[in-house]
Amino acid sequence: MKLDAAEAEEYGPFGAPLFDGPEARALRRVGVIDVGSNSVRLVVFDGAARSPAYFFNEKILCGLGAGLAETGRLNPDGRERAMVALRRFAILARGMEVNSLTAVATAAVREASDGPAFEAEVEAATGLKLWVIDGTEEARLSAQGVLLGWPEAQGLMCDIGGSSMELAVLPGGGQVGATVSGKLGPLKLQNVKGKGARRAEIDAGVKAMAEVLGQDRSDKLFLVGGSWRAIARVDMHRRGYPLHVLHEYTMTPKDLRATFDLIEASDMETLRQETRTSSARMSLVPLAAEVLSRVVKTFRPKEIAISSYGIREGLLYERMPDVLRARDPLIESCRASEAASARLPGFGRILYKFISPLFSRASERRQRLIRACCLLHDVSWRAHPDYRAEICFDNATRANLGGLTHSERVFLGLALLHRYRNKREGTPFEALAPLLNEADTQEAEVVGKAMRFGAMFSAQDPELMGRLKLYPKRGELELALPKGDGEALYGEVAEARFRSLAASLGCAPKVRIGRA
Query: Binding residues for ligand LMR, per CB under 6 A?
Result: 36-39, 106, 161-162, 225-227
The residue with its CB nearest to Mg ion is 161
Closest separation between CB of residue 33 and Mg ion, Å?
12
φ and ψ at 33, to 5 degrees? -110, 130
Q: Which residues pair with 45 in a beta bridge?
A: 30, 54
**CB closer to ligand LMR out of 54 and 367:** 54
403 binds, among ligand LMR, Mg ion, none (CB under 5 to 8 A by kind): none
Question: Between residues 39 and 144, which has the closer beta carbon with respect to ligand LMR?
Answer: 39
Complex with ligand LMR: residue 37 or 102, whichever CB lies closer: 37
Nearer to Mg ion, 161 or 329 (CB): 161
Q: Is 196 exposed, middle or buried (0-12, 13-18, 19+ CB in 10 A)?
A: exposed
Cα 35 from Cα 21, distance rounded (Å): 29
- 39's contact among Mg ion, ligand LMR, none, with CB below 5 to 8 A by partner kind, is ligand LMR
Smallest separation (angstroms) from ligand LMR to the CB of 376: 32
Minimum distance, C-beta of residue 153 to ligand LMR, in the bound complex (Å): 19
Identity of the residue, 226 or 448, whose beta carbon is nearer to ligand LMR in the bound complex: 226
Closest CA to 359 of 350, 369, 349, 346: 369
Query: Which partner from the list Mg ion, ligand LMR, none does 38 bind, CB cut-off 5 to 8 Å by kind?
Result: ligand LMR
Q: How far apart are CA 486 and CA 60, in angstroms?
A: 59
Choose among 470, 489, 492: nearest CA to 481. Answer: 489
**Which is nearest to 144 in space by CA: 21, 22, 309?**
309
Measured from the CB atom, the residue of 36 and 314 that comes closer to Mg ion is: 36
Pairing mode, if any, of strands 53-61 and 250-251? unpaired
CB of 32 to Mg ion, least distance (A): 12
Q: State the residues that interact with Mg ion by CB under 5 A.
A: 36, 106, 161
Distance in angstroms (rounded) separating the CA atoms of residues 237 and 294: 22
Cβ of residue 499: shortest distance to Mg ion, in angstroms? 56
Least distance from ligand LMR to the Cβ atom of residue 12, Å: 21
Q: Output 81 or 366, the one with its CB closest to ligand LMR.
A: 81
The smaller minimum CB distance to ligand LMR, of residues 186 and 413, is found at 186
Binder of residue 402, out of Mg ion, ligand LMR, none (CB less than 5 to 8 A by kind): none
Radius of gyration of the chain (CA): 26
- Express the helix, strand and coil content of the chain in percent, nearest 5 each: 50, 15, 30
Q: Bridge-partner residues for 40, per DSSP?
A: 35, 60
Tell me which of Mg ion, ligand LMR, none is bound by residue 162, counting a contact when its beta carbon lies within the kind-specific cut-off of 5 to 8 angstroms: ligand LMR
Q: Are 182 and 127 a contacting pair, CB within 8 Å?
A: no
Q: How far is the CB of 478 from ligand LMR (least distance, A)?
A: 56
Residues 448, 412: Cα–Cα separation, whole Å: 9
Q: What is the rounded distance in angstroms from the CA atom of residue 84 to the CA atom of residue 281?
A: 20
CB of 201 to ligand LMR, least distance (A): 18
Residue nearest to ligand LMR (CB): 36
